[in-house]
């Protein structure tokens, strides 16, 4: 499926299912709106799945893995090899996301969309490599427009395959040393911010390293002048293959009528790219938590999505998104199982409007 085809397939959410879900929530034996954001979550899900019988069912997490040429500028605490090591640990069950997803009964898909070395795929990693890492965006565009498009369309196809397998909640994760540099550069470009306002320590950068990271991003933005009205321009000049792939996952979920759960900073940047390409994609996204990275809250506000957790996490991998899965399940359990005022014999209670 191409990007254009996917965008054409995205339908507005089902208003009638949403109205029915709202009526059902108002009718169950609890004070009106007392489940707070969980009520909006159920109503939104009814619109996405086009039924008021909301049940989140099968869940998974997609981790897009890619390397970033800008790591050569000294913007990270660890070197690029760690991308491969952690990605391999993910498939062998040892990374944080592996442990969390196993405990939540969520399937884990680890995709090589641009790791900068040849690796073996016999242990479960999925090969969708677009190229061996990106270029160093301090000296040239990270990738061509065509490569950014290939990564987006890879994500679209991957998400539509998952939707066909029946996944109702698809969490988004990433692994790629240097991807908080690309994420900050994209955020600064889209939100017209100075790098200093949107750049943090990523995976534990020193104070000296942070200053360098900020300068590298400011210089690259002055050099490339990405056009914020053209998400593909921004992604190809200062982005990464993992972010482009996840951007495609969000679009693919929307095109297939299933829900995507946004993780932290890096996933929120990918979500913003997707929304800039097609605003309707937002109707198929749930945020999960607020990343501790400085731009974490800014991005969730820009996306204008409610979040459910703030645990000061800044790991990525999809961990915050998977952490939110029990919230979805408990919200739908209450919604499905609670009795109405009438059934619960609370007839004297008149809900206030």
Give catalytic residues, as residue numbers: 317
Residue 78 contact among ligand NIO, ligand RBZ, none, beta carbon within 5 to 8 Å by kind: ligand RBZ
From the list 267, 312, 317, 260, the residue with the least C-alpha distance to 290 is 312
Q: Is 199 in the site for ligand NIO (CB under 6 A)?
A: no
- Binding partner selected for residue 13 from ligand RBZ, ligand NIO, none, CB under the kind-specific 5 to 8 Å limit: none
Chosen from ligand NIO, ligand RBZ, none, partner binding at 177 (C-beta under 5 to 8 Å by type): ligand RBZ
CB-nearest residue to ligand RBZ: 202
Shortest spacing between CB 24 and ligand RBZ, in angstroms: 39
Nearer to ligand NIO, 249 or 266 (CB): 266
Least spacing, CB of residue 311 vs ligand NIO, in Å: 11
Which of residues 51 and 77 has its CB atom nearest to ligand NIO in the complex?
Answer: 77
Name which of ligand NIO, ligand RBZ, none residue 321 binds, using a CB cut-off of 5 to 8 Å depending on partner kind: none
Q: Which residues bind ligand RBZ (CB under 6 A)?
A: 76, 78, 82, 86, 174-181, 202-203, 205, 315-317
Q: Looking at beta carbons only, is 76 or 258 nearer to ligand NIO?
A: 76
Any contact of residue 266 with ligand NIO (CB under 6 A)? yes
Say whether residue 291 binds ligand NIO (CB under 6 A). Answer: yes
The correct pick among 47, 226, 294, 316 for binding ligand NIO (CB under 6 A) is: 316
Of the pair 196, 203, the CB lying nearest ligand NIO is at 203
| Positions 167 through 186 that interact with ligand NIO (CB under 6 A) | 180
Question: How far is the first Cα of the chain from the last one, in angstroms, to the nearest whole number?
Answer: 45
Which of the listed partners (ligand RBZ, ligand NIO, none) does 176 bind, with a CB threshold of 5 to 8 Å by partner kind? ligand RBZ
Helix (H), strand (E), coil (C) string for the chain: CCHHHHHHHCCCCCHHHHHHHHHHHHHECCCCCCCCHHHHHHHHHHHHHCCCCCCCCCEEEEEEEECCHHHHHCCCCCCCHHHHHHHHHHHCCCCHHHHHHHHCCCEEEEEEEECCCCCCCCCCCEECCCCCCCCCCCCCCCCCHHHHHHHHHHHHHHHHHHHHCCCCEEEEEEECCCHHHHHHHHHHHHHCCCHHHHCCCCCCCCHHHHHHHHHHHHHHHHHHCCCCCCHHHHHHHHCCHHHHHHHHHHHHHHHHCCEEEECCHHHHHHHHHHHHHCHHHHHHEEECECCCCCCHHHHHHHHCCCCCECCCCCCCCCHHHHHCHHHHHHHHHHHHHCCECCCCCCCCCCCCC
Closest to ligand RBZ by CB, 39 or 293: 293
The answer to whether the CB of 243 falls within 8 A of the CB of 173 is no
Q: Which of 115, 125, 270, 314 binds ligand NIO (CB under 6 A)?
A: 314
Site for ligand NIO in 205-264 (CB under 6 A): 263-264
Q: Which residue number, 97 or 266, has a Cβ lying nearer to ligand NIO?
A: 266
Determine the Cα–Cα distance for residues 26 and 316; give it in Å rounded to an integer.
36
Q: Which of 19, 78, 132, 203 binds ligand NIO (CB under 6 A)?
A: 203
Residues in contact with ligand NIO by CB under 6 A are: 180, 202-203, 263-267, 291, 293, 314-316
């Amino acid at each position: 499926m191409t990007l254009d085809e996917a965008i054409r397939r995205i339908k507005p959410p089902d208003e009638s299912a949403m109205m029915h879900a709202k009526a059902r929530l108002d009718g169950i034996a609890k004070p009106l709106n007392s489940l707070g954001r969980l009520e909006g979550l159920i109503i939104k899900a009814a619109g996405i799945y086009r039924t008021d019988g909301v049940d989140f069912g099968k869940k998974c997490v997609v981790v897009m893995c890619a390397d970033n040429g800008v790591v050569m500028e000294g913007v990270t605490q660890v070197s690029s090899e760690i991308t491969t090591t952690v990605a391999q640990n993910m498939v062998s069950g040892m990374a944080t996301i592996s442990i969390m997803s196993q405990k939540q009964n969520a399937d884990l898909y680890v995709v090589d969309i641009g790791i900068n070395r040849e690796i073996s795929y016999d242990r479960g990693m999925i090969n969708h490599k677009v190229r061996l890492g990106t270029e160093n965006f301090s000296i040239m565009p990270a990738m061509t427009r065509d490569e950014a498009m290939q990564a987006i369309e890879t994500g679209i196809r991957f998400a539509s395959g998952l939707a066909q397998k029946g996944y109702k909640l698809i969490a988004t994760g990433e692994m790629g040393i240097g991807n908080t540099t690309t994420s900050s550069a994209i955020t600064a470009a889209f939100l017209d911010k100075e790098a200093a306002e949107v750049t943090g320590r990523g995976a534990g950068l020193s104070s000296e390293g942070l200053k360098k990271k900020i300068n590298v991003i400011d210089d690259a933005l002055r050099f490339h002048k990405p056009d914020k009205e053209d998400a593909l321009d921004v992604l190809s000049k200062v982005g990464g293959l993992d972010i482009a792939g996840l951007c495609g996952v969000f679009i693919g979920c929307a095109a297939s009528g299933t829900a995507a759960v946004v993780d932290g900073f890096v996933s929120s940047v990918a979500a913003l790219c997707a929304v800039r390409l097609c605003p309707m994609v937002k109707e198929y996204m749930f945020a999960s938590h607020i990343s501790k990275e400085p731009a974490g809250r800014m991005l969730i506000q820009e996306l204008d999505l409610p979040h459910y957790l703030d645990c000061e996490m800044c790991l990525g991998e999809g961990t915050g998104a998977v952490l939110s899965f029990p919230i979805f399940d408990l919200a739908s359990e209450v919604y499905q199982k609670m009795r109405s005022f009438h059934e619960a014999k609370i007839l004297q209670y008149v809900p206030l409007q």
